[in-house]
Structures are given as C-alpha cells and as structure tokens.
Structure 1
Amino acid sequence: MSMHLIKFGFTPSYRIWTYHGEKAKKRARKEVRQIQPRGEYDTGFDRCLENLANGNVPESPHVEVETPQDAETSEDPEENTKEYYEALFASQKPLHENTEVTQLDAIARLMALKCHRNLCRDGFDELLVIVGSLLPKGHLLPQNFYYSTKLLSDLKMSSQQIHACPKGCMLFREEHADTNYCIKCNSSRYFEVDRNGDGQKRQTTVAKNILRYLPVLPRIQRLFMTEDTAQQMRWAVEGNRYTDKMIHPSDGTAWKNFVKKFPLKAGDPRSVAVAISTDGFNPYGMSAAVYSCWPVFVIPMNLPPGVCMRSENMFVSMIIPGPKYPGKNMNVYLEPLVDDLVRGWEGRGIRTYDASKKEYFDMYVWYHTSLHDLPARALFCGWCTHGKWPCPQCRQAVTFFWLNKGGKYSCFDEARQFLERRHAYRSDVKSFKKGRELRTGAKPNVFAVLKKMKQRKTPDPETGSAVWLNPQCETQCTSYVSKFKQKYGEEANPEAEDFDPEVAVLAGEGLKHGRLWFGDGCVDPAKVPSLRQIRRGRKSGQPEVEPRPRASDLAVERLREEMAAKEQAAQEQRAHMEQQILEYQQQQIQMMQQMQQQQQMMQAQQAQMSWLMSQTVLSSPPGSIAAPPPYTTPWMPPPPTQTPGTPVTVNNLNIIRSMNRDYVSQGNDDEAGGSGGGQG
C-alpha cells in the first residue's frame, strides 16, 4: 500500500473515506432565492437579480447551488469558478440584521432604477447616501456608484466599449487599437475641437462612435454553473422526443446533418448551438427624431422548447449605435461576435465547469440559424430584399412589377403560378387582377414536387385531378439523389437545384421505350442525350446529340405547316382586296379633280366672252349693234367608256379649239351686221 500511494498517490475525488469507515457528511448548500415575496421592497426590477444570480435561467422558485467545499465532487472548480461562487455567496448576505433583502438584491434593484430612469452618476451617489442614512448602522449598502459596480463586476459579467469609425468602415480593435484615423475613409476617431483659437482642430479623448459589446462565451458558460440549468443544456440530445412531430430545432434536418458531419464536436450533448437575431428600432419612440439602433441577440438552442425562447435566455451580445442604420457595414460591427464564435468552435473549445456532473469539459459553440425579417436579413446576409427579387427562395421565379403610386415593387397575383394546372384560382379573373388569367410562368423544382406527390385512389374533388404517381417513385427518387450527388458532389442538394434530365437518364440506365424512367413529361426526351452519349461525355444542347422525332411529333408538325400555309394564303387574298379598293378610291379622287378643273375653265371662258362683248359695244356707235343671240354651250363629245382599272382621260385641247372657233365666227357675224346697217 505504501508503494502504491507513493507511485500513484490518492484519488483526487476521494476526500471522504467512506470505504475506510468515515461517515459521509451532508452537503452544505446555499440557497439562491430566485422568486421571493418582497412586499414593500418590490420595485419591479426583480428580473435583473434573477439574471445575475441564477445564471439567467429561472426554472424553479429555489435553485440549489453547491459550495466549492463539497467533498464528493469528482473535480474541483478552478480559481475563476471559485471566485464567481465566492462573490455570489458573499453578495447573499442580508443588507442589515433586521431584513431578508440581500446585498445583491438591493444593488440590482438600484442599478436597474438608474438605467431605467437614466440617472447620472452624481444623482445615483446622492440616492445611495439618502438610502444609507435611512438604514440601521452596520448596513452593507455601498457608498457610491464605484463600489456598486465593483460588487457586480466580481460576478464576471464583463462588457467592452469598442470605438468604431463614424462611417462604420472599421473597428479600432486588435492591431488597430492605437489608430486615431480610419484607414479607409481617413475619418477621425475622436471629436476634434479648436482649443487654442488658432483655427487648427485637435483630437479630444471622446470617441465619436462606440460599439458596446457583451462577450457571449462567458454568459453561455454561466448556464452550466447551476445544476438544474446544466441538465437542461443537454435536453437537445437527452430530452423526450415525439417521433411524428418536430418540437425543437434539434429535430430538424439541419441540426442532424451538422452533427453527422462533425460528430466529435457537435456530437457532445453539451455543445451549444446558437441562433442570432437582430432588428432595428428607435429607442426614443416613433414620434421622436429619426434614430436607428440595432441590438444583436444570441439565443442558446440546447434548452427545452418551453425555456429556449424566454426573454431571460436571449443574450444581448452587442448594441450597434445609430443614428443611421448600419447598412452594408453590418459585417464590420459583427466582427467581435464572429471572433467569439470562431474561438468557441476551433481548437479544443472553451473549458467550462459543469455543475450537474461536477467536472470540466470542452464546450464547443456553433452557429445554427438566424432569425430575421426580410429587411434585417438584407443587412445580415447581404441579400437585396427591396429590389425585383426580394424572396431568397423564389428568386427570379416570381415577376415583380412597379407600383407608380406606391413607389415600390409588388408581386401581387404572381404566386398563383405555382398552383396545379387545373386549379380554380388559375382562371379566376375577379378575385385577383381584373380580367387577367394567370400564365404558366416559372415552376418550382420538379424533383421536389415529384418527391412530395402521393398516389390518389380517387380524383381530387376540387381540381378533378387524380395526380397518379408511379409506385416505384420512392425507388426512383433515391436513385436520382445518388446519381445527382455522384455528379455534383455529396453536399449538393437536388431539391434546391433545377431538375437535371441527364441525371434522370443515368438513374434509369437509359431511356425506356423513348421515355425517361424518372421525371418523364417534365422535359422533352427527344432533346435528351442517350446513355451512350452521356457516357461519352456529350451533354444536352450540343450538336452531336441528334434529335429522335416521334410519329406524333411529325403529325403535329405537318398540321402546323398546313395551318401556316392556309393562314398565309388568306393574308395574301386580304392584301389583294385591300389594294383594289385603294386603287378605286384613287380613281374617284382623280375624276373629281378633273371635273373641278373643267368648271374653272368654263367660268374663265364666260368671263372672256363678256369682256369681248363689252369692248364691241363701246367701239360701235349707239343703236348700230343688234342684240346678240343667246349663248349656247358648245358640243362636247361623250367621255370614252372606261373600265374600273383604267384612269379617266379628257381631250381638253379640242374643247378649247372648238370654243374659240365659235367665239370668232360669232364676232364676224356681229361686224357684218354692223357694217350693213351703216350702209343702209
């Protein structure tokens, strides 16, 4: 025995010699009150005490925490953990001998009052002096704000104030901690003032933009420092399950695939999966000045469903300052949080004390998901949610149109394109866009649709469709998935990519009777290469792939050609008729113009005759001129007979010559009559 003790020593956890006759002592327990009736001392800020004292997980009215001096622990807490327990127990002393209110309880309420009412430091110091003067002598209330924060700082809930560029270009941390100007935009880190009055501004010690960061890893470690909470942090693996229901994120495919991919780190029940959420708000109210402040929350997902989403289990990791929203510089402000998450996953993890098992373990923290609305997702993930394709799932499958009066894009009535072809909503022209029947448009992933379809024994009462599916669909889907991953890699997801007909050919080992073994009807088999061509390296769309027309395709093509020829002949006939009508209208216009010209010429001739007669009367003596005979219109030959296609022609020159001869002969007769009268 002596040699054994010299060589191996005592067992570290064997402190009470129960196997040698020593009786085990009862454990000395300290009781941390979580919810207690405070009566007149209740100010409404008891939740702050619960968060500080109970590791942020209120599960029962009384939570028992073992002292570090327990003898049956398998592994002792380290110094930093002991300091936390000692500070916690020291703060549980009564404020004075005539009350049950503890020192931590009183400080937590007063600090919450200071934050809620925005008290300055001097005002808080005066408040402590007044309250201390009302307490009995020997009370444990701190004298001022400094000693109050010192008491709370012993609980190891630290925070950091990181200076940031006023434009959000960078953070002044790590290698840039001593930099005074932004390395990208050259903006000053501190406020600049003209102290000497010489017109030259100098930097002060007051930063323009401050990012307040609360480290996440110590707060997650705090969850394992109480026994009940440490047990609940293993619920994701050890908790009760429903085989047919999803009640927790650990029941989802993403969680299971991640654990399967990283079994050594994520397979530990105490490895913590976290979710990140952020959104902007105005801390001064909607009616105040424009100000956008963005808190970032980190939520441990290992807790049970009824505890996971409680407000006390949502850690505020940072507060991104305003007044403007961070925009595309969101990733700059998230650098401290990302560094903590990377440190929690890489290497050997974070050494953490488990109060439920009384041992230390390497805790790994991994990012599971994010919870945002679409505008916040645009900043967090970089996806533009205010353009034509805001939906990250549909992307370009949904067409957006611009609202002239609204000043934004809208996709109203575009979701109907994903319905079944015979659905009643497709032909509904009253309930949606007025007088518009939905087009076919884009379709979702064909493989995902086929995988979710089920065989029906009777037609659907609403659509009248049986939606029959081959009984071998399950086997076909499995074969398609395996061939798809062989072609694109194990990480490829066939439900997220377009349907690949070449993979369907490989899954069915060629075409069966000219048709695809899986997904037939979704693509044209005549345009898909054969199995031999695919194995030779040919792809769809290449000229080496010869099309294989079917008899039905040829018949349809002939019918289309005949219909096209008939349509072309009808168009030519209509064009000929329109040309004839146009020519006839032009002839009518020409005839009207010629008649107008003839009337104008006749009027001119009549005016000339009147002038000649007046000249004759003036040149002859009075009473020697007889009355002229009545004017008769000269004879005109009838127009020639013309066909509708022949233009009308008139011999105007002959008409003018005949009229001149009549005028001359009539004038000679008048002269002869005048001379005869003179002789008589």
Structure 2
Amino acid sequence: MDKSWIWLPRNSHEYSEGATNFVNSSAKRLGSLSEMLCPCRDCRNLSHQSLDKIVEHLVIRGMDKKYKSSRWSIHGEKRDSAEDSVLQYETEAFDLFKTIFSMDEGGPNPTTDNEDDEAPEEIEFKKKLRDAQTPLYSDCLKHTKVSAIMGLYRFKVKSGVSENYFDQLLVLLEDLLPEDNVLPKSLAAIKKFLKIFGFGYDSIHACKNDCILYRKEYENLESCPRCKVSRWEMDKHSNELKVGIPAKVLRYFPIKDRFRRMFRSQRMAEDLRWHYTNATEDGTMRHPVDSISWAQVNAKWPDFAADPRNLRLGISTDGMNPFSMQSTNHSTWPVLLVNYNTPPTMCMKAENIMLTLLIPGPTAPGNNIDVYLAPLIDDLKDLWAEGIEVYDSFAKENFNLRALLLWSISDYPALGTLSGCKVKGKQACNVCGKDTPARWLKFSRKFVYMSNRRRLPPGHRYRYKKAWFDNTVEEGNANRIQTGAEIYETLQAFTNDFGRPLEKEKKRKRLELEDDERLQEEECEESNELWRWKKRSIFFDLPYWKELPVRHNIDVMHCLC
C-alpha cells in the first residue's frame, strides 16, 4: 500500500485523499466490510468504526505512530515470502543495469539499436549487457548469468563467507553445473563483472600515517614524502615488505557515475525535480527546500537555481566498527551524501543515501580526514564549475548537470573533525569562538558552558531565573556570529600539516615545556584568532563554501530539547 500520504500535513487535500483511498481499499481487500478496526492514534486498532468515521479520525487525530511505521497487516497488507524477497534482490540489480541505457523506459535498446553511430565504449557496454542476459547454461529457464551472480553475491554478504571459501564454492558449482555454464570462476571475476556496470569503486593507496594519498603527483612514489614510511604492507613475522600490497587503501565510489545512473531512470529523473514545485506556502519547514538557506542559495546563484535538475547535497560521516565488532580499538569512517532534490519520503531512505568514501581504520582519521576527502572534493569542484553531460530519461534530452554541497550533518566531535574548529576546552563553541562562556569546575575537572541566556530576547523571564541556573542574572546580548567569508579570511594564513607523526611531535614538544612556559604559551595562543582552529578545512576549496549561510549542522539525535 502507498504510505507516502501519512507524512503529509493532515490539513492538506493529499492527506485526506490518501486516507480515504487507504480505508476504501482496505475494506475491499478484507471483504467489502462496512466497519473495521480504526488505526488512529486514539483507537490504535482496538475498536471498530465505520469507514467514514475512520477517515475522520485519521484526519483529525492522525495515524498511530507504531502502526504507521510497520506493516499494515490488520488492514490486508501481506508480507512477501522469503522466496519473493530473494527474487526481488536478484532482479533489482539487473533493473539498475538496464536503467543505465533506459531499456525499459523508451531509451536505446542494446539488442536493436544501430551501433554505427555510437561510441566504442557504449558498444562494448551493450555487449556486456547482452552477455548478462544469457541463461546460466543452455537449457536453464530459471536463472540468467546476472541473477545467479547476484544471488551468490548476496549469499556471501549476508553469511559473512570469506573470499577463500567463496572461491571454493564457485569451483564446486562449476563441477555441478553443465560444462557450458557462464558462471564466473572466482570472486575477483564477479567483482570485475559488476564494475563494468558502474557498481565498483576506486582503490586509492594511502599513507599508513594518514599523511597523503598516492594520487596525482604522489601516484608513483614508493614511500611517503612526509613521514618516510613505506607504501607497502610489512610482514609481521619477517619484517619484510610485501611489495604490491598497500598498507592502507581508501575506497572511493565515484559520484559522477551515480548521478548519471539516477537520471537514466525515468521515474527517478522525475522525482529529482520534486523540490522545484513543492515548497510550502504556510511558512512551515517540512523539507530543506523550505529553509532560509535554500532560498539564499537560489538568490545568490540564480543560474544554478534555474535548472531544477541541479543537485543539492548534504554530507555526513562518523566512525563505526565494521562486521558487528564490539571492540573500541577499530574505527572505520564511511562518508555519505544525501540528495535533497527528492521528496522527504525518499531523500532519507537507505537506497537513496550514497556511500562515497570508506576511510579505513584501525584508527580514526581525526584532523587528517581532509586527506581522504580530496577525491570527493575534486569531483564536487568539477560539478560546480563545469558540470557533466547527463541524459535525462524523463525529458528525453542531454543536459549539463551541476551540484552544490549545502552543508554537513554530524555529531559534535565529528563537526570539529570536518570544520577544523576546536570543540573542547575554553573555546569549544564553534559559534561563540573565543567568546565562549566557559567555566572550569575544579573538582569535576572539566569545563561547563552556562552563560547562554544572553541569546534570549531582552526581558525574557529566563534571564532572571537565578535559582534555575547558576544564581546569576544575565544581561546584554550575544556576540555577532562570524560569517563564512570572515572565517575564510582568517584561515588564509593557516598552514595545514597532516599526518599522525607530525601531530605526535607537536604534542611531545608541548609536554616538554615547563608549566609556567606552557601557561604563558597558552595565554598568547588564546589571544590569537587562529588558536581555536586545528586546520583550514578542505571544504573551503569549494568556491561557494564561504558564501553559504549554514555550513555545519548537528544531527537531530544529538540535539537536546
């Protein structure tokens, strides 16, 4: 059943129409009933009501929160069988393959279109697509090459089978199947097959100490030019270098290919225009399109806003332990992109959030995350300055696609990692800066930040509630917030030094200073505007970043109300 209407405002015509269709279709599915259980937030599927009464309850009270997020089994929605869900996984991947050339939506057909006027790479791609459609073996009617590959690969991912065991399974299947089968003989061959259709990633070697990526001018080096550590892995027993096996690898999933695939789907190409005609008119923010930042971006760059297909993106990252590990000694950082062009019911779905970088562990990148963000930032700069040529399946035309990164979304420690601003100590507030109202608690041995009532309107009653806070009355107003352009100018003199050995050396030298000397040094640094910054963020390499009104956001989970 369609559930998109339950997230709409209850005073809208679309919500009322969706509720009516839901009630009528449920009654028909259950046997043309005149009464059935009401799923509103008061009845909660415990009392029977007439159909008209149920619609009235849904409009006035809304759907029960627990019921609207689950399966509507009480009203006839059936659970798919395990076999159907497996088949769906296997066919969805091939549907993505087909949408690249819009085979199922009126686009060019790889089996009938004239290949004389096409580029060689497109001809080769279509040959691979035809190969993917071949039966698994000559008399096989149930599985094609692509369905067998996706079924086996799904089995590997879900069961956690190692590459070695999976290769042994493929060898066994080769002996069991007829000789003319087209199943790849190894996991490496399967990955190569998937990469043809744009589902692979770029492996970029990285310095073990997070100093550099071995790309561009460093591509052919054997060791890091900063810390002198070898590029290659070292055997733990013999201490010999394993030449050809990198010590650290960054996985980058190119965003340009992903954007091209999105517009090859006619339905997705239409959804990517949603924001252009669906801004609210009642002043309520239900989507980023209703925000002041979105309007200011449109006013600042009208040529970008003129084409509704241009993408507005958000970036998010945090550390995690892969493979359900409970140890805190490992931290892998995925970097995700969110596409805000689509409706609110789509933009936050898992399948529409793009994994762009997988930063390896075992240690968190910390201040050195800019080293790993470089490939993504380079593509974002190209997408802003020049754009890429993309085929729009909805409009049946080629156009120049551009993209803009609106902001980042993270928890507070990750905000310091991305922005380069200190989020601990006396100047922990990235808004107040050196005017942060910090107070040191001697016996708790930590800073607290109490004097924030000055941001309330003058005369607000909370300003005078001494007993509720720190037994003081707060007068005056908060200081003006620095703009992105002002921060950019301040950081022009900042020199970035990336790499863990360099950070350890700086920390060691500071610890060697006597207490009095260290105190004097800290006082001098606090008077310096650069003291609260750890680096000049790589986001400032984006030409528009310093002009954005909001650059960093704290995610909802970490906001206290």
TM-score bracket, shorter-length normalisation:
0.5 to 0.7
- Cα pair 2:234 2:247 within 8 Å, conserved: no
In the alignment, which of 158, 164, 169 is matched to residue 127 of structure 1? 169
Structure 1 residues 408 and 53, CA, compared in 2 at 3 Å: closer, same or farther? farther
Q: Any idea what the Cα deviations from partners look like across 1:234-266, whole Å, max 9, x if unmatched?
A: 222244654533333233333333333333344
Aligned to 2:475: 440
Distance 1:217 1:248 in 2: 25
Residues 83-102 of structure 1: CA deviation (Å, up to 9, x unaligned): 55664465345546665454
Q: How does 1:532-571 map to 2 (within 5 A)?
A: none
Contact 1:293 1:319 in 2 (8 A): yes
5 Å-filtered alignment, 1:92-241, equals 92-93=133-134, 95=136, 100-131=142-173, 140-192=182-234, 204-239=243-278, 241=280
Instruction: Please state whether the residue corresponding to 1:334 is helix, strand or coil.
Output: helix
> Which has the bigger relative contact order, CA under 8 A and spacing at least 6?
2
User: Which residue number corresponds to residue 342 of structure 1?
Assistant: 381
Cα–Cα, structure 1 residues 238 and 437, in superposed 2: closer, same or farther, change >3 Å? closer
The change in CA–CA distance for 1:423 and 1:365 in structure 2 (over 3 A counts) is closer
Q: Does 1:351 align with 2:393?
A: no
Distance apart, 1:132 and its partner CA: 5.4
User: What corresponds to 1:426 in structure 2?
Assistant: 463
Assess, with a 3 A threshold, how the Cα gap between structure 1 residues 252 and 420 changes in structure 2: closer, same or farther. closer
Q: Does 1:376 align with 2:431?
A: no
Measure how far apart 1:222 and its partner are.
Answer: 0.6
Report whether the alignment pairs 1:402 with 2:443: no
Which residue is 2:451 aligned to? 414
Equivalent of residue 91 in structure 1, options 132, 135, 153 = 132
Query: What secondary structure sits across from 2:297 in the alignment?
Result: helix
Answer whether contact 1:125 1:144 (CA < 8 A) is retained.
yes
Deviation, structure 1 residue 318 = 0.9
What do the CA deviations read for 1:306-334 (whole angstroms, capped 9, x no partner)? 11111111111111111111121111111
Deviation at 1:336, TM superposition (A): 0.6
Partner of 2:21: none
Which AA in structure 2 matches 1:389?
A: Q
In 2, Cα distance between equivalents of 1:339 and 1:295: 18
Of 314, 317, 321, the residue aligned with 1:278 is 317
Structure 1 Cα separation of the partners of residues 106 and 268 of structure 2? 13
- In 1: Cα distance, 2:162 partner to 2:480 partner: 60
Q: Distance in 1 between matches of 2:337 and 2:326?
A: 29
The answer to whether the aligner puts 1:366 opposite 2:404 as a matched pair is yes
**Aligned AA for 1:426?**
R
Change (3 A) 1:51 1:207: same
Distance in 1, matches of 2:443 and 2:120, equals 66
* 1:173-219 CA-partner distances (Å, limit 9, x unpaired): 11211111211121211134699x9xx96563222111111111101
Counterpart Cα distance in 2 of 1:238 and 1:86: 40
SS at match of 2:204: strand
Q: Deviations over 1:509-528 (max 9, x none)?
A: xxxxxxxxxxxxxxxxxxxx
Deviation at 1:147, TM superposition (A): 3.5
Residues 146 and 331 of structure 1: CA distance in aligned 2, closer, same or farther (over 3 Å) = closer
State whether residues 279 and 294 of structure 1, in contact with CA within 8 Å, keep that contact through their aligned partners in structure 2.
Answer: yes
TM-score by length of 1: 0.52
Partner of residue 295, structure 1:
334
Distance in 1 separating the partners of 2:147 and 2:476 = 64
Within a 5 Å distance, the mapping from 1:43-58 to structure 2 comes to 50=92, 53-54=95-96
Partner of 1:466: none
User: In structure 2, do the counterparts of structure 1 residues 231 and 116 end up closer, same or farther at CA, with 3 Å as the change threshold?
Assistant: same
Correspondence for 2:13: none
C-alpha spacing 1:335/1:216, structure 2 compared with 1 (3 Å) = same
Contact 1:297 1:316 in 2 (8 A): yes
Q: Provide closer, same or farther for how the CA distance between residues 441 and 343 of structure 1 changes in structure 2, counting only shifts above 3 A.
A: same
Of residues 106, 128, 141, the one that matches 1:66 is: 106
Structure 2 residues not aligned, in runs of 5+: 1-77, 482-545, 552-561
Report the alpha carbon displacement of residue 41 of structure 1 after superposing the two structures with TM: 4.3
Distance 1:238 1:388 in 2: 46
- Note the 1:410-489 alignment, pairs <5 A: 410-411=448-449, 413-420=450-457, 422-433=459-470, 436-440=471-475, 442-443=477-478
CA contact (8 A) 2:279 2:290 kept: no
Conservation of the 8 A alpha-carbon contact between 1:272 and 1:365 = yes
1:84/1:156 contact within 8 Å kept: no
| CA spacing shift, 1:84–1:357, aligned 2, 3 Å | farther
Corresponding residue for residue 302 of structure 2: 263
* Counterpart residue identity of residue 329, structure 2: V
Q: How many residues align?
A: 404
- In 1, are the aligned partners of 2:293 and 2:549 still within 8 Å (CA)? no
The CA distance in 2 between the partners of 1:254 and 1:82, in whole Å, is: 44
Instruction: Identify the residue that residue 283 of structure 2 maps to in structure 1.
Output: 244
Quote the sequence identity (%).
Answer: 30
Aligned counterpart, 1:542: none
SS in 2 for 1:287: coil
Mapped to 1, the partners of 2:256 and 2:197 lie a distance apart of 14
Unaligned runs of 5+ in 1: 1-35, 447-490, 497-680
Q: Quick one: which amino acid aligns to residue 437 of structure 1?
A: T
Distance 1:46 1:270, change over 3 A: same
Q: What is the aligned-residue RMSD (CA, Å)?
A: 4.0
Query: Aligned partners of 2:123 and 2:338: how far apart in 1?
Result: 26
Counterparts of 1:266 and 1:105, CA distance in 2: 41
Contact 2:93–2:150 (8 Å) recurs in 1? no
Which of 345, 359, 364 is equivalent to 1:306? Answer: 345
**CA 364–194 in structure 1, closer or farther in 2 if over 3 Å, else same:** closer
Which one-letter code corresponds to 2:417 in the other structure?
L
Residue 579 of structure 1 corresponds to which residue in structure 2? none
Three-state SS of the structure 1 residue aligned to 2:463 is helix
